[in-house]
Amino acid sequence: MSDIMRQIGFGDLMTRILGEYAKEGSIFGVRKLVCRTEEQARPIFREKIESPFGPAAGPNTQLAQNIVAAYVCGARFFELKTVQKMDGRELAACVPKPCIAAEDECYNCEWSTELTVEQAFEEYVKAWFACKVLARELGLGDPEGFVFNMSVGYDLEGIQTAKIDAYIEGMKNAEETPVFRECREWLLGNLGRFRKIDEGFVRSISPRISSSITESTLHGCPPDEIERIAAYLIKEKGLNTYVKCNPTLLGYDYARKRLDGAGFDYISFDEHHFREDLQWEDAVPMFRRLMALSAERGLEFGLKLTNTFPVDVRQKELPSEEMYMSGRSLYLLTIHLVRRIAEEFGGTLRISYSGGADFFNIRQLADAGIWPVTMATTLLKPGGYERLSRIAELFEDAGAPFAGIDTAKAAALDLAAGTDPRYQKPVKPLPRRKCGEPLPLIDCFQAPCRTSCPISQDIPGYLAALEAGRTEDALRIILERNALPFITGTICPHTCTDRCMRGHYEESVRIRAAKLRAAEGAYRQVLPSLAKRGNGNGRRAAVIGGGPAGLAAAAFLSREGVPVTVFEKREKPGGIVRFAIPSFRIGEEAIDRDIALCTAYGAEIVTGREIRSVEELKAEGFTDVIAAVGAWKEGRNPLKYGEALDALDFLQAAKAAPESLKPGKQVIVIGGGNTAMDTARAAKRISGVEKVSLVYRRTKRYMPADEEELQMALDDGVEFRELLSPVGVRDGELVCAVCALGEPDASGRRSPVETGEEIRLPADTVICAVGERVDTSLFRDAGCAFDERGRVIVDEDLMTTVPGLYAVGDCKAGPATVVKGIADAQKAAAAISGCSFEGCVRTNVQEDPAPYLGKKGALCADCGAEEGTRCLGCPTVCQVCTDVCPNRANAAVRVPGKRMAQIIHVDGMCNECGNCAVFCPYDGRPYRDKFTLFGSREDFEDSENDGFFQGAGTTWVRLGGAVREYNVFDPSCGLYEDLRRLIVTVLTDYPYLLY
């Protein structure tokens, strides 16, 4: 059953490690093995760690394979998953599943081990042996160069129970335990499988697995109970002890203010934990007493900062009422608590850090004396454990002993966090990164960026060409589907970046900039070589409107040999891009270059002629007419009284003759879309304007404008007046009704509700940027049918009810982006010329996955300075579900005849935490939807997953709910061939997955 983790015996564990390493050069999917040296070691607990970091108590330290995966990536300090008296199935039954959501800040339901205490002990002993052996066998470092740190909870009574006491004593000295003997005896019996492991080494492996412990208490634990537990662990157990503190120690007001100030105001919590948890005035004297007690016994004492932070479930993040927050939002609280503690104790109280630590802050933390550092959230994101290998690169210098915390550096880290964009939530909600398609059983690699692009641009194809220095190839790939690379390379809303998997690392690939780079770098070489490649299909087309959609249609049609003429009523083509979008956003040269590309195939552009009827074009011999008229008609005026300028009229004047505008000192723009942002930014640049305000009836979070457009307006100094609904203009003032946000609708957007209050804003000029419209008279005169919303009715090819008349771009359904206009142009051009754009995809050009596998976990410190594109090559190698699984329950296997590796889900390693479902680019759950390998008939029958179980001489397969027995080695057995080959590959080439 998927939510039951089945332990791997030590022999099977080592067989998996050795088998996979021999075949793939990896260990539990980790390819980037990290070697550490004696010089890099730092003393701790009279032991040493070759790296001052490792995984935190949580999903990444619950099983032996998790610890091994972290170790080979460079981790050397392991905070083992917390054990408590409630354990095993009793605890698992209390944990809602899925229990992890780490898309941005991370949430979890419960991170105590779901194994029994005895099983957890066995996992840690097996991991201890495995790491020792790998250190010697693979030369990864000194076998004595890492430390295991216990974590126990949650009250003294529980810690003193027989099973927890046996756990602690066993970790202090495991020599007489069955699992220790099992591991040692297996190694002694299999010395021939190793090159550098001999009997002397095996017998030298210390049974003293841990001499340190972290006390983890529940929220609301009284201070005297916390102190009693710590004193017991120090005095009675003789352990170096850390006390884990909760961020509630900061107080409700501070926590609320800091999170709100960083844009995390939607995170919901009340004051009760702050009232019930440890208070500052109780904590400080307690810590002083425990420091003294530890010093008397020659032990180390410190704090673990911090525990996860309890918050309310409000948006169905997890199937519980309360959840625990970690990640970058927790960093804001934890680093401030570090500062307060450091200053209170003059840097003498040691702090083991957790709470949003990652590649971007860990070196600064360590340099301030704040170490060891443990991490969870960052390891649950794409790249997974291999992120640790990148972090290890930050610590190539010699290690040094703890010499106190530098309070000035701690304070500087705290201050920097308040302004660092990494710890600020974007104004608008994160985009949905799912493609909207079900997760296939096999062949699940795809390019999420391409699926979110309206023109299905082959983004991985041209990024790969750019990466290889083939700029001309890159531009040719772009031009297959995109006739306007300069315009889209400059002002495209680039929704492709919304789904870019690189966005889970540091920031999405700068796809739009890469497109522009290709266009600028190869324009002069590619333009002269463009030529027709079709016979025209006997058609002759007219395009009404020389804006982006019309130009793109002309380019696609003429490329296919269709004679085409564009009729533009203005003196130049370019439409709204040329005449309304401000020049500080796009210059004339970019527009002119795109027009040259669009006419390179022979399209003719006639300017200064306004087409008033379709019939006049038909009379001139045009077989097909594409209407591509822009949304130039005045938008909807929301005012009940008074006057306001139309945004497009203002933008045209601001671009053509800004000196002619005299809007006064105070300008107000009504609206929240991209046009409103352009209008407000343009107004800021008009002489005499001192203040520009943007009025909208919702908050910034719910404005329709793109995040980038909104941020640029903020950067330009536009004032946002939120939750105001304009009523009218009178006596130099805009009267607005004050609104409040109501409950979220089905889409999550909160509707404004008027409160009955009014506010008056000084305004010399009011500009409306609401609901730009299209003049539909051309369609009405032609006899086209319209829907109930007044939009012209079109079929799937965008042809209206009048044969041969097509509607694209703005005139199809209202204002549209340039790239959506190009998408419409594709459809209409394909219908007229008979061409297909489906054969233009070149994502299969990259057959070798190695370069992309090498990028996994490779976080970039300065994306702007990175020479490459940082593209992860998703259609070549996705495997995100393998990255983010802490238990390594998803494995990539190479099936003969298949271009890319296939995913097999290993049932026994999975506890249905759900993390793979969070990051899978499909709308699916790999732990449920991928073909599953079962370790026993019992588990096979107790699951609904499609998958197989290998019995004695036969294979049982479930597919679509039906179970059948197959001889999978017989090609004619009747099983779907791709699945048959997948099963045979696992059985023959990956036998180490069977346990």
The answer to whether 495 touches 433, Cβ cutoff 8 Å, is: no
What is the arrangement of strands in the sheet containing 805-807, beginning at the earlier edge strand?
604-607, 564-568, 541-544, 624-627, 805-807
Burial 174-204 (b: 16+ CB within 10 A, else e): beebebbebbbebbeeeeeebeebeeebbee
The answer to whether 768 touches 734, Cβ cutoff 8 Å, is: no
**pLDDT at residue 846 greater than cutoff 80:** no
Query: What are the tokens at 558?
Result: 């003429």
Q: What is the pLDDT of residues 52-102, one digit of tens each?
A: 999 999 999 999 999 999 999 999 999 999 999 988 888 888 888 999 999
User: Residue 283's Cα: distance from chain center in Å?
Assistant: 37
Residue 962 backbone phi and psi in degrees, to 5: -95, 135
Residue 958: other Cβ atoms inside 10 A? 20
Q: What is the mean pLDDT of residues 741-761?
A: 81
Alpha-carbon span 655 to 668, nearest angstrom? 19
Q: What is the mean pLDDT of residues 395-404?
A: 96
User: In this predicted structure, what is the pLDDT of residue 101?
Assistant: 94
Q: Is 555 helix (H, G, I), strand (E, B) or coil?
A: helix
Query: What are the tokens at 561?
Result: 């040999």
The answer to whether 449 touches 511, Cβ cutoff 8 Å, is: yes
**What is the pLDDT confidence band of residue 827, given thresholds at 50, 70 and 90?**
very high
**What is the pLDDT confidence band of residue 845, given thresholds at 50, 70 and 90?**
very low
Report H helices in 527-633.
548-559, 575-579, 588-599, 614-619
Query: What are the tokens at 883?
Result: 């990255």
The answer to whether 384 touches 884, Cβ cutoff 8 Å, is: yes
* Selection from 27, 74, 33, 22 nearest residue 195 by Cα: 22
Q: What is the pLDDT of residues 862-893, one digit of tens each?
A: 998 887 889 999 989 999 999 999 999 999 99
**pLDDT at residue 476 greater than cutoff 80:** yes
**pLDDT at residue 841 greater than cutoff 80:** no
**What is the pLDDT confidence band of residue 748, given thresholds at 50, 70 and 90?**
low
Tokens 């080979």 belong to residue: 72
Q: Write out the DSSP string of 675-727.
A: HHHHHHHHHHTSTT--EEEEE-SS-GGG-SS-HHHHHHHHHTTPEEE-SEEEE
User: In this predicted structure, what is the pLDDT of residue 842?
Assistant: 52
**What is the pLDDT confidence band of residue 462, given thresholds at 50, 70 and 90?**
very high
**pLDDT at residue 779 greater than cutoff 60:** yes
User: Is beta strand 962-966 parallel, antiparallel or unpaired with respect to 955-959?
Assistant: antiparallel
**What is the pLDDT confidence band of residue 436, given thresholds at 50, 70 and 90?**
confident
User: In this predicted structure, what is the pLDDT of residue 218?
Assistant: 81
Q: Write out the DSSP string of 859-885.
A: --S-GGG-SS-----TTT---HHHHH-
Q: CA triplet 520, 522, 528: central angle to 5 degrees?
A: 120
Identity of the residue numbered 756: G
What residues pair up with 312 in beta bridges, in sequence order?
Answer: 322
* Percent residues over pLDDT 90 in the chain: 86
**What is the pLDDT confidence band of residue 112, given thresholds at 50, 70 and 90?**
confident
Mean pLDDT of the chain: 94
Q: What is the pLDDT of residues 913-927, one digit of tens each?
A: 999 999 999 999 999
Contact residues for 319 (Cβ-Cβ < 8 A; gap 6+): 96, 97, 98, 109
The answer to whether 234 touches 172, Cβ cutoff 8 Å, is: no
Q: Which of 289-293, 366-370, 857-861 has the lowest mean pLDDT?
A: 857-861
Alpha-carbon distances, residue 934 vs 2, 69, 142, 581, 947 (angstroms): 9, 22, 37, 59, 7
pTM for the model: 0.93
User: In this predicted structure, what is the pLDDT of residue 844?
Assistant: 44
348, with CB counted inside 10 A (0-12, 13-18, 19+), is exposed
* Selection from 376, 398, 397 nearest residue 388 by Cα: 376
User: In this predicted structure, what is the pLDDT of residue 745?
Assistant: 65
Q: Is 767 helix (H, G, I), strand (E, B) or coil?
A: strand
**pLDDT at residue 747 greater than cutoff 80:** no
User: In this predicted structure, what is the pLDDT of residue 569?
Assistant: 95
Q: Is 43 helix (H, G, I), strand (E, B) or coil?
A: strand
